[in-house]
Chains A and B, each alone.
Chain A
Amino acid sequence: MAAAPKRPFRWHIVVFLAPAVLVYTAIMILPLAGTLQLSLFRNIDQAQVFVGFENFRRLFGDPNWSVGFWNALRNNVWFFIIHMLVQNPIGVLLAALLSSPRLRFSAFYRTAIFVPTILSFVIVGFAWKLILSPLWGVAPNLMDLVGLKSLFTPWLGKEQYALTTLSLISVWQFVGIPMMLIYAALLSIPEEVIEAAECDGITGMSQFWKIKLPLILPSIGIISILTFVGNFNAFDLIYTAQGALAGPNYSTDILGTFLYRAFFGFQLQIGDPNMGAAIATMMFLIILGGVCVYLFLVQTRLRRYQF
Chain B
Amino acid sequence: MSTATHSLPRTIGAHVVLLTYTVIALFPVIIVIMNSFKSRAAIFGAPLAPPTPNTFDLIGYTTVIGQGDFIHYFQNSLVVTVASLFFVLLFGAMAAFALSEYRFRGNSLMGLYLALGIMIPIRLATVAILQLMVMSGLVNTLTALILVYTAQGLPLAVFILSEFMKQVSDDLKNAGRIDGLSEYTIFFRLVLPLVRPSMATVAVFTMIPIWNDLWFPLILAPSEETKTVTLGAQLFLGQFVTNWNAILAALSLAIMPVLILYVIFSRQLIRGITSGAVK
Interface residues, chain A, with chain B CB atoms under 8 Å away: 3, 10, 12-13, 15-17, 19-21, 23-24, 26-35, 38, 90, 93-94, 97-98, 100-103, 105, 108-116, 118-124, 126-128, 130-131, 136-138, 141-142, 172, 175-176, 180-181, 183-184, 187-188, 198, 203-204, 207, 222, 225, 229, 233, 235-236, 239-240, 256, 259, 263-264, 273, 276-277, 280, 283-284, 287-288, 291
Contacts and interface: CB of A to CB of B under 8 A. Distances in A.
Nearest to B232: A122
B60 interface: no
Contact of A31 (B5, B92, B125): B125
Interface string B111-155: 001101101111111111111100000000000000110111011
A27 B129 contact: yes
A130 B154 contact: no
A288 B88 CA distance: 25
A35 B126 contact: yes
B144 to A, nearest CB: 9
Contacts of A114: 266, 269-270
B78 interface: no
Interface of B: 1-2, 4-6, 10-11, 14-15, 17-19, 21-22, 24-26, 28-29, 31-32, 43-44, 47-48, 87, 90-92, 94-95, 97-99, 102-104, 110, 113-114, 116-117, 119-132, 147-148, 150-152, 154-155, 158, 182-184, 187, 208, 211-215, 219, 230, 233-234, 237, 244, 247-248, 251, 254-255, 258-259, 262-263, 266, 269-270, 273-276, 278-279
Given A17-B95, A119-B258, A122-B230, A24 B126 contact: no
B187 A120 contact: no
Nearest to B122: A28
A233 B21 contact: no
Contact of A236 (B128, B150, B214): B214
A137 B8 CA distance: 39
A188 B279 CA distance: 12
Contact of B117 (A28, A105, A172, A207): A28
A20 B161 CA distance: 13
Contact of A27 (B26, B102, B151): B151
A248 B118 CA distance: 34
Given A122-B237, A184-B274, A284-B120, A128 B28 contact: yes
Contacts of A90: 21
B215 A102 contact: no
Contact of A180 (B11, B230, B233, B270): B270
A171 B43 CA distance: 27
A287 B126 CA distance: 16
Contacts of B4: 203-204
26 contacts: A17-B110, A19-B90, A19-B94, A20-B91, A20-B114, A23-B147, A23-B154, A27-B151, A28-B151, A35-B126, A93-B17, A94-B18, A97-B17, A100-B5, A100-B6, A111-B263, A122-B214, A127-B29, A128-B28, A131-B31, A181-B278, A184-B274, A184-B275, A229-B119, A235-B123, A240-B214
Nearest to A103: B14
Given A20-B154, A126-B251, A280-B124, A27 B274 contact: no
Contacts of B182: 12
Given A28-B152, A93-B17, A130-B248, A34 B214 contact: no
A203 B14 contact: no
A203 B5 contact: yes
